[in-house]
Amino acid sequence: MVAGQMYYADDQNLAKQREQAKSLCFEYNHLKPSDLENRINIMKKLLGKTKKNFWIEPTFWCDYGYNIEIGENFYANHNLVILDGNQVKFGDHVLIGPNCGFYTAGHPLDFEIRNQGLEYAKPIEVGSNCWFGGNVVVLPGVKIGSGCVIGAGSVVTKNIPQGSLAYGNPCKVQKKLK
C-alpha cells in the first residue's frame, strides 16, 4: 500500500487498522471542547508524528492515522478528512480551512480491476508556511511546495511549486508570491 502498488482495501489486517483509527477519531470527535488534554493525547496516539504545537478542530477523520505527519504550529479547521493509505506529510506553520480533504487513495479506471476490490495510494506532501482555504481537495500523489496559498474550493490534481498562489478546479498556479 505505502509502496504505491495495488492492494486489497478489504484485507482483514487493514480493515482492523482502519477500525482502530476510526474508533479514536470517533472518541476525539465526541469530546467536550473544553477537554483539551484528551484532545491532544488522542491525536498524539492516532497520528504517526506530531510536533509540540498543533490543533485540529473536530470533526476529523482518517483511515489509519500512522501515515500522517504534521509539523509545528499546524492548524486544521472543522471537518478535515485525510485518507492516509499512503504518507501524508505537512510542514510547519500549515493552516487548513474547514471542509478540506487530502486523499491518497485512488481506484483503477478499469471497472473489472476496480470490482476486484483493488485500489492504490500515492503520497501527499505539503511544505511549510502553506494556507488552504475552505473546501480544498488534494488528490493522490500531489506535492505542494512551501509558502503556497491554495484558494477555497480548489481541487489540486497536480504539483504546485513553492511560493505559489493557486486556485480553481482543476487548481492552477495564478501567480508567484513574494
Residue ranges per structural domain of the chain: 7-176
Instruction: Tell me which residue of 60, 71, 126 sits closest to 93, measured CA to CA.
Output: 71
CA–CA distance, 38 with 25 (Å, rounded to integer) = 12
pLDDT band at 47 (very low <50, low <70, confident <90, very high): very high
CA distance 135 to 151: 9
Q: Provide the percentage of residues in the chain whose pLDDT is more than 90.
A: 97
**Mean pLDDT for the stretch of residues 31-36:** 96
> Is pLDDT at 178 greater than 90 in this prediction?
no
pLDDT at 45 over 90: yes
Residue 28 has pLDDT above 90, yes or no: yes
Give 70-99 pLDDT, tens digit per residue: 999 999 999 999 999 999 999 999 999 999
Residue from 30, 78, 93, 107 carrying the catalytic annotation: 107
Mean pLDDT across the chain, nearest whole number? 97
- 107 catalytic? Reply is yes
Answer yes or no: are the C-beta atoms of 50 and 43 closer than 8 Å. Answer: yes
**pLDDT over threshold 90, residue 126:** yes
pLDDT exceeds 90 at position 150: yes
Mean pLDDT of 148-169: 98
Has residue 58 got a pLDDT over 90? yes
What's the pTM? 0.96
> pLDDT tens-digit profile of 8-18?
989 999 999 99
CATH assignment, 7-176: 2.160.10.10
Q: Confidence class of residue 160 from pLDDT cuts 50, 70 and 90? A: very high
